Structure 1
Amino acid sequence: MPVMDVLTPQEASFIATNCYFTLKDWINNAPTAGTETMANIHNRVLGAGTAGKPNPQAVNPSLKSTSLAGGKLHAVVDGTTGMGTCTGFGYLLRVNKGHDRHAIIATRGTRPELGAPDLLTDARAAMTGFGDYGPVHKGFKKTFDSVLSNLARDNRVVMDADVVHCVGHSLGGGVATLLAAHFARQGKQVRLYTFGSPRVGAFMSYSAMHQTIGKQNIYRVAHDLDPVSLVGPFPYIHVNPAVADENNMTLPSRTGSLFSTANHDMAAYIDSVADKPRATWDMARSLARQTDHDNCVLAKWLLHDSGESGWVQFASAKTLGILFKLFSHVLKGISTSLILGLTAVDLLAEMLLNGMTKAALLGEQIFTLLRHAATWAGITVSKGAQFTTLIIGRILSTMLSRLNSMAMHAIHAGANHLVAMPLAIAGGFALAHSVAL
């Protein structure tokens, strides 16, 4: 733990991975609802990493070789997801560095083997209040409440720490964000590290979190084609959302496919930012600068006005992936979505919430795209027809339904590989329905 009491990329990514071992029988490649024994968790978090069945393809995320090796596994933290199922959800690690005391709270992501309990957490797309921060994702808030309640008996360890580190992947990144915001409001110095996190707060909530936690203390890592980090449309917004944000470390994906589960897997994140023990956040930032956030050439090609519909011809996962990056070349200075580094899907959601006035400012080119999108979604719109919120809503619902279906397939197809897989993305689908229909 070098400069400024910040975890290294390797330490943070190992923590985001090894907290999955709190789930019962994860070490035996057969996770079930329950909590693993403290001895086995210690072995995997701080020890030799030998407990359970060996998995030669998996990264061994033990902290034994890091500067955190002298830490103490103070507690295993349970969490309640979905329909009230309580499982091992993470841990509390206590580390002393010189005169400074550090508390590390790690929270895991969704597991498809648990079925509805875990996945339903992600499907709760409704918003709920989060103190004076504003509205946040209801499902994540529910799990946060359960984790915070289970942390209560160890609250003294957290409150006595000089620095509190909150770390999580996927759903765990969403919960870690709420934990960081909570303890920052309690006056603690907080560092937040997320990998492939979904969006947690609504339009103004993310800004309040910036002010309380400190943008410089939020280390958000995502692959640019990780579907979990993309879906959950406006008004949900990431912390450190803008391309120019120093700690928005949106990295080139390990694959060229939006729906490859590898883009969300923690092993891929370790490979991206922590493949060397001496990896630094500056290295991750340098890699993030290689990410293409514009894709103007592809956008203009898809927006061509020839007789054939480019949208129909390329109606595939690849096309849907391109859709996420289509709009930036015609939105400069007009859309909230561009300013905050959001996507085409967010623009459609923003249209639904704010009316069609903004759409009218975008000109005929944007309506050409919308006509192609409508055709792709199976909606007939004549060339001179006006786009209404109902039509936009149907396009958005179809996009999110397709994305949700593919993500769910990816989750269940990858379950047997026993690496951290994506959370369900039903939340965005439900939001589209609640707004548009």
Structure 2
Amino acid sequence: MNVTENNHLIPKDAASLARDIYAVQDEFLVKAFLNKPLFSPKGREKKTMSAEVGSRLINTKDGFGVCALGAEQEKVGNQDTSNRHAIIVFRGSTTANMYADWISNFRIGVETSSTGLPVHIGFNSIFMSMKDQIEKFLNQHNNKIKYVHCVGHSLGGAIATITSDWIKCNYSTKEVKLYTFGAPKPGFEWFARKLTTRLNSESVHRVFHSTDPVPMIPLYPFVHAPIPGTGTHLYSSEALLSADAHDMRLYFDSVKDPEASWSSLGDPLPSTSYDKLVEKWLASDGSVNPFNPKTWEWINAGLEYVIKKILKVTAISLQAGFSGCITLADKLALILRKGIEYSAKLSIWVVRLMAKIMQALGMKIKQKAEELTHFVIRYVLQTLMNKISTVGKQAIKNITKY
């Protein structure tokens, strides 16, 4: 098994796992997948997992991933090889299950995870349907395992993230490593921060192409781990709306150099979370280009900035109140409208944010705060979410026919 001196999978191997795991729907191809030199040759030391995906109306159970022990390895430098590695890999979306995966992807809501943190309801539901299978595998080989590697692309990356948090909480002596490619955001900021602390930032490898739309969804308050940090940003020339940058085969091509290390990958990417940068963008009179992926990143950063600004001075809880008919757009609209009503200073920032969003969506801009009713704000936010989701769906559609 090829690992670095810090007991991490090398980028090429992590990417090959995330690419080839799509074969879990075919029994013959699963055997070929498990013949990789990364895995133990002993069949009894692996488990193919199935998951329930979709909703109450369209629900199916099919192959979703693999748990397996890593192969024995030769000593590399001063690397500790006295304990074995476990590898847990999850596939991304497929059309083979009546589009049930798509329902899980875009079932955007929040619920409390098994570790007590706010996460995406669709992703968490898939994880929970596999939790007992993962637990059985880990318990069966508990004394053999010191390192657990969780890997996935797209939807599989979100599930790998939630899985890594659960494993670290329930098997605290294990060293858990996370590798995701083009994954959507799996939970709120509280989840991302706790995950980063539990695993440590060096063990979280989030890889994304600059024009891949899927890592941009869902919008704030969903965020990525590690925090602080931006992940491994890879340049991509593919157009945002073509969604080609989401293809796992392209991700593999970007990291396939066997000499590449995690520290050597990626382009410098300045964070857009700094208050002064976001304020400058919100206050600028420049035009907004909806075909530039940076536009949607700035909108997300602006939404985060304004929401946090309002929450600091009001008694509203961001994580409460998602029961019943309250949607994410409803909740954010309530907070933004509260900011308008609270003070003139907050009102200015809400107006600026909504103007940027409406311009990006090709809507007529509302110039006055009184025009931004709860209904209008909710409509704009829902339209924004639908726009981002449409691009994300196209990206996912492009990878479902491997």
| TM-score > 0.5 by shorter chain | yes
Match of 2:154 among 151, 170, 173: 170
Equivalent residues in 2 for 1:398-417, closer than 5 Å? 398-412=383-397, 414=398
Structure-2 change in CA distance of 1:252 and 1:166 (3 Å): closer
Deviation at 1:121, TM superposition (A): 1.0
| Partner SS state of residue 11, structure 1 | helix
5+ residue gaps, structure 2, are 74-80, 311-327
Q: Which residue of 2 aligns with 1:56?
A: none
Instruction: Note the C-alpha offset of 1:404.
Output: 2.0
1:209 deviates by 1.9
User: Which residue does 2:210 correspond to in 1?
Assistant: 224
1:302/1:227 CA distance change after superposition, 3 Å = farther
Distance 1:139 1:334, change over 3 A: closer
Q: Deviations over 1:170-209 (max 9, x none)?
A: 1111111121111111222211111111111223122222
CA distance in 2, matches of 1:45, 1:330: 44
Letter in 2 for 1:122: N
Q: Equivalent residue for 2:197?
A: 211
CA 1:360/1:351 → structure 2, altered by over 3 Å: closer, same or farther?
Answer: farther
Identity %: 23
CA RMSD of aligned residues (A): 3.7
Aligned counterparts of 1:196 and 1:302: Cα–Cα separation in 2: 31
Alpha-carbon distance change, 72 to 3 in structure 1, aligned in 2, over 3 angstroms: farther
Question: Structure 1 pair 373/176, CA: closer, same or farther in 2 (3 Å)?
Answer: closer
Paired letter, 2:186? V
Query: Aligned partners of 1:174 and 1:399: how far apart in 2?
Result: 22
Q: CA deviation at 1:169?
A: 1.0
Q: Using the alignment, how far apart are the partners of 2:119 and 2:303 within structure 1?
A: 30
Q: Does the aligned pair in 1 maintain the 2:212–2:240 contact within 8 Å?
A: yes
Query: Which residue is 1:41 aligned to?
Result: 30
Q: 1:199 is matched with which residue? A: 185
Superposition map of 1:20-419 within 5 A: 20-23=22-25, 36-37=26-27, 39-46=28-35, 63-64=36-37, 68=38, 72=42, 74-82=46-54, 83-95=58-70, 96-97=72-73, 98-160=81-143, 161-186=145-170, 187=172, 188-242=174-228, 245=229, 248-272=230-254, 274-284=255-265, 287-289=266-268, 303-304=284-285, 310=287, 317-318=290-291, 322-325=295-298, 352-353=334-335, 355-356=338-339, 361=345, 367-368=351-352, 370-371=354-355, 373-374=357-358, 376-379=361-364, 381-382=366-367, 385=370, 387-412=372-397, 414=398, 418-419=401-402
Return the offset for 1:380. 5.6
Task: Give TM-score scaled by structure 1 length.
Answer: 0.71
AA of the residue aligned to 1:267: R
C-alpha distance in structure 2 between counterparts of 1:114 and 1:332, whole Å: 39
Read off the aligned partner of 2:244 and give its amino acid letter. Answer: A
Are the equivalent residues in 2 in contact too, given 1:107–1:173 (CA < 8 A)?
yes
**TM-score (norm: length of structure 2):** 0.76
Say if 1:81 and 1:279 are closer, same or farther in 2 by CA, change over 3 A.
Answer: same
Give 1:80 deviation, angstroms: 1.5
User: What's 2:18 paired with?
Assistant: 16
CA contact (8 A) 1:234 1:349 kept: no
Distance in structure 2 (CA, Å) of the matches to 1:43 and 1:21: 9
Whether the 8 Å CA contact 1:112–1:411 is kept in 2: the answer is no
What residue number does 1:28 align with? none
Number of residue equivalences: 361
After superposition, give the CA deviation of every residue in 1:115-159 in whole Å (9 maximum; x if it has no partner). 331111112222222134322111111110112223344233452
Deviation for aligned residue 1:323: 3.8
Q: Secondary structure at the match of 1:370?
A: helix
CA–CA distance in structure 2, aligned partners of residues 349 and 162 of structure 1: 42
Amino acid paired to 2:264: M
Distance 1:231 1:70, change over 3 A: same
> Residue type matched to 1:80 in 2?
E
Q: Deviations over 1:256-275 (max 9, x none)?
A: 52223222111121122x22
Contact 1:100 1:162 in 2 (8 A): yes
Residue 367 to residue 134, structure 1, CA distance change in 2 (3 Å)? same
Gap runs ≥5 in structure 1: 24-35, 47-62, 338-345, 420-437
CA contact (8 A) 2:93 2:155 kept: yes
Contact 1:377 1:395 in 2 (8 A): no
What displacement does 1:69 show? 5.9
Contact 1:79 1:150 in 2 (8 A): no
How far apart are 1:228 and its partner, in Å?
A: 1.2
